[in-house]
Structure 1
Amino acid sequence: MSIKFRLTIMSFLQFFVWGAWLITVGNYWFATKQWSGADFGAIFSTLGISSIIMPAITGIIADKFVNAEKLYGVLHILGGLALLYIPQVDNPTTFYYVIFAAMLCYMPTISLSNSVAYNILKSNDYDVVKVFPPIRVWGTIGFIVAMWITNLTGNKASYNMFYLSAFAAFALGIYSFTLPKCTPQKLISKDASVFEKLGLNAFKLFATYKMALFFLFSMFLGGALQLTNMYGDVYLSEFAKVPEYANSFVVKYSTIIMSISQISETLFILAIPFFLKRFGIKQVMLISMLAWVLRFGLFAYGNPVDGLWMIIMSCVVYGMAFDFFNISGSLFIETTTDARVRSSAQGLFMMMSNGFGAFFGGLLSGMVIDKYFTHAGVRDWHNIWLSFAGYALVIAILFAVMFKHKHNSNAVANGSH
């Protein structure tokens, strides 16, 4: 079995674990459990808190102390145990703590999976920038397959989604122990300071203006990242409350409609090497931000009948919005940081985007929607999505003005500085 194929299996299962419940948990929360909207925002903030605490720590451990593939496997098995317990939970407070435990284990595996893949590909003399995106595509396919299974088996509001996720997590945890060894880099001299030995020198990246801005905008964009994951399926499902849309395809198969977003991802991931070489990191990230404006704006004006094309176009645009920042950002870190701190730097990127960004985005969006856009239990989706589009537009304008980066197509093509 080839190295690329083995990493493809890892990537597929990595995001299958997430896709089994992430998009549909809102339906479980609102329709099955009938818990409050403000509390739901707190649930998604666990992704953020976990990404603040764990990826940088696990990146340091993988850089200095433990084989990355073994740490990766242990985290998936522990996360699977938490997911397995969720169906037994019968109140929102306990649900919060159990999902928090699952996320403490899962969120660092996203950046760790990148580090494992980069390490194995480089040790086998592959060009990371060219070879990694097609492997990462299969992560998105795993996410899509999980979503379709959840919807087509009638479990988009059922606790069975957590059992499916747990099973995949156990399978991936065991499988990861068979991967090639990713030993700690241990490139630091005996005379190094305690600060360096602990891997905390990755935080020195914040002292560089360009890197500090990159991480800052990663946080701001991370605030938008989980919004459609949180509310997209609920938004489509709630068209059932409108008589003329109640029996529409969109309402019945909302999760499958949402999966167009992930299908779009697969296409845009494959386009990343071309766009990076042609336009450079700044333009690619700016395109991502403008795509978020379109994503939210099209949702604001869409409906399941004559506005169906807007919903579908919003899902298509998502692929560009998501990939052009996340995958390009990860490759940017890989090609502009020192080998001694790369796993730690990937952890920092994760901490800012899926950490602080998702935390504030999840918490504040839940409160704002509940206070300003919910009337007598009915959510005003049109103005919710417009407010999100306005937020993304402000971020895009600030990024275009403030972030300075000179494009070098040869550096991107070679995967070097």
Structure 2
Amino acid sequence: MNSTIRIKLSIMMFLEFFIWGAWFVTLGTFLGNNLKASGSETAAIFSTQSWGAIIAPFIVGLIADRYFNAEKILGILHLIGAFLMYQMYQSEEVGLFYTYVLSYMILYMPTLALVNSVSFNQMKDPEKEFASIRVWGTIGWILAGLAISFVFHWDAAAAVSEGLLKNTFLLAGIAAFILGIFSFSLPKTPPKVSDEKIKIGDIIGLDALKLLKDKNFAIFFLSSILICIPLAFYYQNAHPFLTEVGVSNPTGKMAIGQISEALFLLLIPVFFTRFGFKKTILVGMLAWAIRYVLFAYGNGDDLSFMLIIGIALHGICYDFFFVSGQIYTNSKAGEKYRSAAQGLITLATYGVGMLIGFAVAGWITDNYKMVDGAIDWQMVWIIPAGIAFAVFLLFALLFNEKNKVKEIPSAI
């Protein structure tokens, strides 16, 4: 890969995740303060991510992979996304905002697959080359959070009360417009030419359902759905919680989670080699329970270090479960069902699991709202901690690893 193409792909990844990090992290706080959304309304809006994840394979599989260049569709989707971001910036009513954010996520989620397609099409050895390109996405997400906290100060207490968090949508919209234009200069990525009849089951991975006959894979599959319930609590409630308890620069500090994610990614091969898949994934599950206990009993003053540790555990929580799970799925599926299995796991987690998780998180938040409108955050975090520990016990008792996973990439 020549340096010009490498730079273009790195810029593409940077902008792709800068856009997401610029508005999604602070979304819960924005909804509660600017739009006065209830827990269930907030849950419905966060669930648009799941609907986008469910619909995305159809857009990519039925359109992008067969009829149009990936880079052109990427450009068009981000230009429309920029317009929708501007509409979200102007919205002052929850119902209308939901319409815009649902439309946006249906268009944005397919771009996650498209940027990968554009990248892989330029690589001779993706296992060695992709990580150095993908890391710019993580950097983009981190810098978006740092900019909101330390450059614009939109998440400061006074700024939040003035409603300045709506500016995050304007920031994301500008970045989306830039990426939309920039995408047309990316390397040509033509569609896959195929005369085969399109099968919906292939697109969403239904062929991989045969893997569920394996008891261990079925336990892993069920655990993957259940662990998304506590995951949804983090996405939906972490920023409002940190803001309410008085943590300064909460958006910038939540970027510690992405830094942690990048670092712990490097440790996965070590854990796989020394401890095997089961112990690695159990560490990830237990980390979810520990992080929420830290959130439940920490505060924004003398115990603020507990909240920072909880944020920093994101790398273990996410990488040790989800990335390890992708590697395990890859090894179990084999060549024949590899793509279908990954599609099925994505549908189960980011689709079904997160939908359930956001609904539960919204219901819990509403039911632990006190008379004065304040939220009993201790109970809001103790409950997902209990769920995560229950999933930990389920997996520890029922999953029986017979063979070690052989395929262990150095980085993903």
List aligned pairs for 1:94-133, cutoff 5 A.
Answer: 94-121=96-123, 124-126=124-126, 128=127, 130-133=128-131
User: Which residue does 2:207 correspond to in 1?
Assistant: 204
1:291 to 287, 293, 308: 287
User: Which residue does 2:250 correspond to in 1?
Assistant: 254
User: Which residue does 1:144 correspond to in 2?
Assistant: 142
Q: Secondary structure at 1:155's aligned position in 2?
A: coil
Listed one character per residue, the Cα deviations across residues 188-218 of structure 1 (whole Å, up to 9, x for unaligned) are 6x6x66538x734831101212555544433
List aligned pairs for 1:346-357, cutoff 5 A.
Answer: 346-357=342-353
Supply the AA of the counterpart residue of 1:137.
V
User: Which residue does 1:233 correspond to in 2?
Assistant: 239
1:166 to 170, 173, 176: 173
Mean Cα deviation higher: 264-273 or 160-169: 264-273
Supply the AA of the counterpart residue of 1:369.
T
Listed one character per residue, the Cα deviations across residues 139-173 of structure 1 (whole Å, up to 9, x for unaligned) are 22211111121223122342110011111122223
Give the number of the structure with larger relative contact order, counting CA–CA contacts within 8 Å between residues 6 or more apart.
1
Q: Secondary structure at 2:267's aligned position in 1?
A: helix
8 Å Cα contact 1:48/1:355 also seen in 2: yes
Supply the AA of the counterpart residue of 1:204.
D
What is the deviation of 1:411? Answer: 2.8
User: Which residue does 2:321 correspond to in 1?
Assistant: 325
Listed one character per residue, the Cα deviations across residues 99-129 of structure 1 (whole Å, up to 9, x for unaligned) are 11111111232344344444443xx134x1x
Q: In 1, Cα distance between the equivalents of 2:74 and 2:402?
A: 35
Answering whether residue 356 of structure 2 is matched by residue 360 of structure 1, we say: yes
**What's the % identity of the aligned pairs?**
38
Q: In 1, Cα distance between the equivalents of 2:270 and 2:62?
A: 32
Supply the AA of the counterpart residue of 2:206.
F
The count of corresponding residues between Structure 1 and Structure 2 is 397
Supply the AA of the counterpart residue of 1:233.
H
8 Å Cα contact 2:208/2:344 also seen in 1: no
Q: In 1, Cα distance between the equivalents of 2:66 and 2:276?
A: 32
Answering whether residue 365 of structure 2 is matched by residue 369 of structure 1, we say: yes
Query: For residues 414 and 379 of structure 1, do their structure 2 counterparts lie closer, same or farther at Cα, with a shift above 3 Å needed?
Result: closer
What is the deviation of 1:55? Answer: 3.1
Q: In 2, Cα distance between the equivalents of 1:56 and 1:71?
A: 14
Q: In 2, Cα distance between the equivalents of 1:102 and 1:410?
A: 39
What is the deviation of 1:3? Answer: 4.9
TM-score, length-scaled by structure 1: 0.84
Q: Secondary structure at 2:314's aligned position in 1?
A: helix
Q: In 1, Cα distance between the equivalents of 2:8 and 2:334?
A: 27
User: Which residue does 1:195 correspond to in 2?
Assistant: 199
The gaps in structure 2 that reach 5 residues or longer are none
TM-score, length-scaled by structure 2: 0.85
What is the deviation of 1:343? Answer: 5.8
Q: In 2, Cα distance between the equivalents of 1:230 and 1:201?
A: 26
Supply the AA of the counterpart residue of 1:31.
N
Query: For residues 79 and 118 of structure 1, do their structure 2 counterparts lie closer, same or farther at Cα, with a shift above 3 Å needed?
Result: same
Mean Cα deviation higher: 316-325 or 340-349: 340-349
1:390 to 363, 386, 389: 386
Q: In 2, Cα distance between the equivalents of 1:345 and 1:169?
A: 31
Mean Cα deviation higher: 292-301 or 260-269: 260-269
Q: Secondary structure at 1:23's aligned position in 2?
A: coil
Q: Secondary structure at 2:362's aligned position in 1?
A: helix
The gaps in structure 1 that reach 5 residues or longer are 241-249
8 Å Cα contact 2:208/2:337 also seen in 1: no
Answering whether residue 226 of structure 2 is matched by residue 223 of structure 1, we say: no
Query: For residues 283 and 64 of structure 1, do their structure 2 counterparts lie closer, same or farther at Cα, with a shift above 3 Å needed?
Result: farther
8 Å Cα contact 1:292/1:392 also seen in 2: yes
RMSD after superposition = 3.0
